[in-house]
Amino acid sequence: MPWFVKIERGIVDKQTFDCHVPAHLEYVQALVERGHQAQTGYWRNSAGGMLLFEADSRQAAESLVKQDPLVVHGCVDYDLHEWVQVNQNP
């Protein structure tokens, strides 16, 4: 399954953003439970973060990203990229 990266830029104030973080974490956990191997995090000194996950296709990845509460509630702008791993660990 291909890997995808959603690079996020926060576009709302911290208080608004923080209101949606619990739902975002539940969304990420649901992705993990469905086999997408999702990982999420933020940039320490910047308003934004990243979500790394597997999906069957770019179309499926786009669909998954549109369900993220941070996207649904207009907290972030984002770019979605397919990540091509060049080192294959056994």
Residues of the domain holding 68:
3-83
Q: Is 48 a member of any domain?
A: yes
Instruction: Give the β-pairing of 76-83 and 48-54.
Output: unpaired
Identify the CATH number of the domain in which residue 31 sits.
3.30.70.1060
Asked whether residue 53 is domain-assigned, the answer is yes
pLDDT above 90 covers what percent of the chain? 83
User: Do the domain assignments include residue 88?
Assistant: no
Task: At 2, give phi and psi (nearest 5°).
Answer: -70, 155
The domain tally of the chain equals 1
| pLDDT for 90 | 60
H-helix or E-strand spanning residue 48: strand 48-54
- pTM equals 0.89
